[in-house]
């Protein structure tokens, strides 16, 4: 069993709870790639260019990824939204949760860095940007993208289409949550545990170089990596211990 496998069931339970509490839950199939927004270099969306903020420092947010080699745990091509869609959000700010679920027989702990890079690239769309700090997810939708009719079905289709091209991925699914602060905080209870597992795997991938420093085996930029603060903490702890040994 992969370390994340039990959390797939927890995500299913989570959405079932919200359904029972009469949240709006919608499910779509992946749109054809030609219908999804094309890949695009990340825009810098300034505050005065922003029509909608999702999550961030002023609202509850949670974002994480699960992967498994058991493809039966993933509903391939499914996009689920709990709460209002982009055009339906009232006000310039909403809580935001996002969970990506990936499956493939070849996926294991060595695949995690490439999956993280693939997700970072997949989230690039015209008029949409994402920042991560630890577990906090902060996205902005530009006025142009909002007026053009960006929806979570379109956005989810773009993300899933790109993730399907990542090495080892044969099934991909995504969940968005915009319903309420409490709903996103409930999701974050799962997210915090998932990130702890991911952090442990990342720590195991740190390797000591010849000069005694430590490097991460991933190729993603530290500025874009959601766990860069964890690596910094690990390096600091190692440095402290080495000073103590002397």
- Could you write out the DSSP letters of every residue in 58-117? TS-EEEEEEEES-GGGS-TTEEEEES--GGG--SSEE-EEEEEEEE-TT--GGGHHHHHH
Question: 174: part of which helix (H) or strand (E)?
Answer: strand 171-177
Location of structure tokens 């949670």: 62
* pLDDT at residue number 44: 83
Q: Widest CA span of the chain, in angstroms?
A: 62
Percent of the residues in the chain that have a pLDDT greater than 70, as a whole number: 78
Q: What is the pLDDT of residues 105-117, one digit of tens each?
A: 999 988 989 999 9
Q: What is the pLDDT of residues 169-212, one digit of tens each?
A: 999 999 999 999 999 999 999 999 999 998 888 777 665 444 45
For the chain, what is the radius of gyration of the CA atoms? 18
Q: Does domain 5-187 have CATH number 3.30.360.10?
A: no
In the chain, what are the domain boundaries?
Answer: 5-187
Q: What is the pLDDT of residues 39-88, one digit of tens each?
A: 555 568 999 999 999 999 999 999 999 999 999 999 999 999 999 999 99
User: 190 vs 47, 65, 89, 110, 111, CA distance in Å?
Assistant: 31, 11, 25, 23, 22
* pLDDT at residue number 135: 73
């Amino acid at each position: 069993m992969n370390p994340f496998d039990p959390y797939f069931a927890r995500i299913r339970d989570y959405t079932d709870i919200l359904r029972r509490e009469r949240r709006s839950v919608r499910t779509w199939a992946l749109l054809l790639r030609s219908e999804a927004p094309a890949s695009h270099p990340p825009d810098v969306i300034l505050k005065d260019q922003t029509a909608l903020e999702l999550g961030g420092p002023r609202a509850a947010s949670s974002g994480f990824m699960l992967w498994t080699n058991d493809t039966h745990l993933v509903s391939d091509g499914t996009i689920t939204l709990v709460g209002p869609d982009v055009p339906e959000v009232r006000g310039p700010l909403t809580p935001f949760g996002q969970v990506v679920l990936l499956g493939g027989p070849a996926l294991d702990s060595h695949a995690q860095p490439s999956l993280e890079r693939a997700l970072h690239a997949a989230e690039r769309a015209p008029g949409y940007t994402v920042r991560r700090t630890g577990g906090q997810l902060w996205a902005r939708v530009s006025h142009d993208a909002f007026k053009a009719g960006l929806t979570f079905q379109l956005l989810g289709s773009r993300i899933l289409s790109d993730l399907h091209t990542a090495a080892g991925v044969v099934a991909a699914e995504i969940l968005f949550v915009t319903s309420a602060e409490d709903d996103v905080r409930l999701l974050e209870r799962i997210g915090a545990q998932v990130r702890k597992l991911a952090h442990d795997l990342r720590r195991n991938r740190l390797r000591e170089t010849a000069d005694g420093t430590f490097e991460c085996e991933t190729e993603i930029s530290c500025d874009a990596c959601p766990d860069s603060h964890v690596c910094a903490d690990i390096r600091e702890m190692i440095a402290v211990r080495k000073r103590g040994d002397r």
